[in-house]
Structure 1
């Protein structure tokens, strides 16, 4: 007889509410600890552009309150990024009771890997894409044009790229999930490689500003990460097949 407690839909909704509140609280705690340094954080994020600006170039604030709201907004988004591992842990803790033991072993590394890849995407765009893209933008300015970027426009630009590259770097995790659920398999993905190449450049065109450098710098890592995801999915499939054969051998 099963004596385990039976949870109703209302119980699950209460638990979901509690975990969402914990996520929000975690973001607020991180934000409160960082908001004092909001201007310093914005200055650090703006360094890639300021480093390549010509003599006399500077950033400006065209709106009355943008000098306050731009660093404030950046700090809030950064707080979400910093709290992401805890947020993913809360998601994991909510769904874990409904998973089998072998599924738990698979999902936990995926959550860790997704956090790492998201941070890797942000790091890549800051240290690789920004210096190249901003150097290109400032070098092609027409003669006599004084470069003075608005801080709100710059913030929207960098946040768009942060999210685009952070999500694009999740490709290996997405591929593993698709193969795990049986939606596809590594062999089918390898056969669709030419379409993936075209799709990577189309996505790069849609997610990045309309310049070839940003599009290429997003498309190429996406293709490499696609290959990594297919490789890892092949290892997972091989392991699953070996376990299935072992189980069949035990029953014979």
Structure 2
């Protein structure tokens, strides 16, 4: 008899009600982590706001203009600060969110599987943060394109809420996009897709990745689109290599 234990029931032994209860518990824990992170974001709002406005200020100050964002609604600053705090909460709570996701999709997490949880959380968080960082570093060029595409005769009065929404959405979109290799590796791990199949789909993948990057990039500018599409295709190729390693290990395990 196996002596391995787990603090969660195996998914195959759970009823639909138990699945729903577990999902509720995971969502509640993730929500609590986001709320705590949002409180931290509210407290450190000034520093976060200053960080978010750096790309915009770099662009307008290069044109010898004053870096100032506008607000025409007395209620807007409060809603804007709440928005910044909310997004900050999600970013801060990422490890908890990914861990709760893993605990829900993993089949019970026995002792030998817990190492996969740590790897999943670390890799998912690193990729999301990396994607957000790429978006942030790309923003100055993207903003320069957007602010000059209309010509010299336009005086840009940038609204504070619309600007930060653009920045935060772009960072979030890149972060989610950078989770792409985890999805492909997972599909190969469970046998849904084979590395050989992904190799044959390279041309289709290029078209699909480019279209996906164009869809999920909030600014719709070509600079951001290609800044997302190029890493995604690199991840596609890396996922194929990872899939081949998975297949080789399975073959060795089967023959041994």
Shift, 1:76, TM fit: 0.8
Partner of 1:36: 43
Worse-matched range after superposition: 50-59 or 11-20: 11-20
- State yes or no: 1:179 paired with 2:179: no
User: In structure 1, the residue corresponding to 2:59 is in which secondary structure?
Assistant: coil
Task: Give the structure-2-normalised TM-score.
Answer: 0.84
Alignment check: 8 A CA contact 1:164 1:207 kept: yes
- State yes or no: 1:191 paired with 2:204: no
Query: Which of these residues, 61, 70, 73, is aligned with residue 60 of structure 1?
Result: 70
Shift, 1:192, TM fit: 0.6
CA distance in 2, matches of 1:195, 1:227: 13
Alignment check: 8 A CA contact 1:96 1:104 kept: no
Partner of 1:249: none
Shift, 1:2, TM fit: 9.4
CA distance in 2, matches of 1:118, 1:107: 16
Shift, 1:49, TM fit: 0.9
Shift, 1:200, TM fit: 1.5
Query: Which of these residues, 76, 86, 98, is aligned with residue 86 of structure 2?
Result: 76
In structure 2, do the counterparts of structure 1 residues 94 and 189 end up closer, same or farther at CA, with 3 Å as the change threshold?
A: closer
Query: Which of these residues, 206, 209, 223, is aligned with residue 200 of structure 1?
Result: 209
Shift, 1:137, TM fit: 2.6
Query: Which of these residues, 98, 122, 129, is aligned with residue 108 of structure 2?
Result: 98
In structure 2, do the counterparts of structure 1 residues 29 and 148 end up closer, same or farther at CA, with 3 Å as the change threshold?
A: same
In structure 2, do the counterparts of structure 1 residues 178 and 97 end up closer, same or farther at CA, with 3 Å as the change threshold?
A: closer
Alignment check: 8 A CA contact 2:135 2:224 kept: no
Shift, 1:52, TM fit: 0.8
Query: Which of these residues, 45, 52, 55, is aligned with residue 52 of structure 2?
Result: 45
Partner of 2:173: 164
Query: Which of these residues, 164, 175, 183, is aligned with residue 155 of structure 1?
Result: 164
Alignment check: 8 A CA contact 1:38 1:75 kept: yes
RMSD: 2.6
May I ask how many residue pairs the two structures share in their alignment?
245
Partner of 1:88: 98
Shift, 1:64, TM fit: 2.6
User: In structure 2, the residue corresponding to 1:217 is in which secondary structure?
Assistant: helix
Deviation by residue 1:176-214 (Cα, 9 ceiling, x = unmatched): 111112111111101110111111111122122332212
Runs of 4+ off more than 6 Å: 1-7
In structure 2, do the counterparts of structure 1 residues 18 and 143 end up closer, same or farther at CA, with 3 Å as the change threshold?
A: closer
CA distance in 1, matches of 2:109, 2:201: 31
Partner of 1:23: 30
